[in-house]
Amino acid sequence: MSSGPTLAIVGATGAVGTVMIDIINNRGSVPWGEIRLIASPRSAGKKITVRGEDNTVVALAPEAFDGVDIALFDVPDEVSAEWAPIAHSRGAIAVDNSGAFRMDPEVPLVVPEVNPEKVHERPKGIIANPNCTTLSMMAALGALHREFGLRELVVSSYQAASGAGQDGIDRLYAELEAVAGKQVGVRGGDVADALAAAGLSAETPFKAPLALNVVPWAGSRKDDGWTSEELKVRNESRKILGIPELKVSATCVRVPVLTTHSLAVHATFEREVSVEKAHKLFSDQPTIVLDDDHDNEVFPTPAAVVGGDPTHVGRVRQALDFPNTLDFFVCGDNLRKGAALNTYEIAETLAK
């Protein structure tokens, strides 16, 4: 075992925890000594291969954090709210992917390409990982903001089913089987009828059929007509980019895609922009792939980019009627950069 810092993964057996382990196993070199897998008591004792060796999952308990330097959390909000401070009290820095601490002024919200220096300002010993929708566009917006000075953001999302977890994935697969071969979608309600005929419950993580449909609702109900997901895009973008007065309007829409969120972004800047300069900024950013060759009709789509680490950007256009404004389309894997990868990259930034 190497002599590097000890890393814990809390929620190691979940969807995002599994991707974290996958990232570690596929990274050429990692800075860690011990890697400790932590999960609920019912998963304790399970063996998972990490760096070629069996690693036995331990149950979440205060003493599980003894000797841990950095603990990655991917657990429900209320579990993080209780256990991240306990991890800190045992000497660990907690990097949390729940919504529990993101807007806490004493907790930095970090995207390593944008504000890596914030990992050192953590009075509570906790660092938060952003919401996956916000994260999908942050590498791109961070690069543009440094050059042009971001002022306004109008965003529409095309969000994948896996943003609603394994239930969301299972539901979309089941709905696709229920509608395939049925020639539905041409009369109001016949998609819903096909789902009911296939025995699917009217209870769904999406509040409406998702197969052959789009659902303009993500997250929970907030004041004045907004959803939690839309307010996260606004509040987290402001905090990560360090622009408290950033103007933001977001409309968050679920689409029948398994994994990878896409966003149509209309971004207005303080200074003059050009597509050429934006292309260069994107190309210079190692975590961005530029899929933008208009003459050959090349653009990113979620089904093409899913499973990879980079954010893909394309359809970059200078707005015809809005000064200093770019329109573009961005696709990022919501389980990787949107969750496991960024959380892990925060830990790597700390380990440096």
Q: Which residues are catalytic?
A: 132, 261
* Burial call 63-93: b when 16+ CB within 10 Å, e when fewer: ebbeebbbbbbbbeeebbeebbebbbebebb
Rounded distance, CA 205 to CA 188, Å?
Answer: 21
Burial class (CB in 10 A: 0-12, 13-18, 19+), 257: buried
* Shortest CB 69 distance to its own copies, Å: 32
* Shortest CB 254 distance to its own copies, Å: 10
Three-state secondary structure call for residue 7: strand
Q: CB-side exposure of 80: number of CA atoms within 13 Å?
A: 24
Q: Per-residue string for binding with its own copies, 147-166, x by CB under 8 A?
A: -----x-x-x-x--------
The closest of 285, 282, 296, 286 to 329, measured between CA atoms, is 282
283 forms part of the interface with its own copies (CB under 8 A) = no
213 forms part of the interface with its own copies (CB under 8 A) = yes
324 forms part of the interface with its own copies (CB under 8 A) = no
Rounded distance, CA 9 to CA 12, Å?
Answer: 5
177 forms part of the interface with its own copies (CB under 8 A) = yes
- Residue 306 marked as a ligand binder: no
* Shortest CB 263 distance to its own copies, Å: 9
Residue choice 44, 103, 255, 351 for contact with its own copies (CB under 8 A):
255
184 forms part of the interface with its own copies (CB under 8 A) = yes
Q: Per-residue string for binding with its own copies, 217-236, x by CB under 8 A?
A: x---x--xxx-------x--
202 forms part of the interface with its own copies (CB under 8 A) = no
243 forms part of the interface with its own copies (CB under 8 A) = no
- Residue 42 marked as a ligand binder: yes
Q: What DSSP line would sit under 115-130, residue for residue? A: -GGGGG--TTSEEEPP
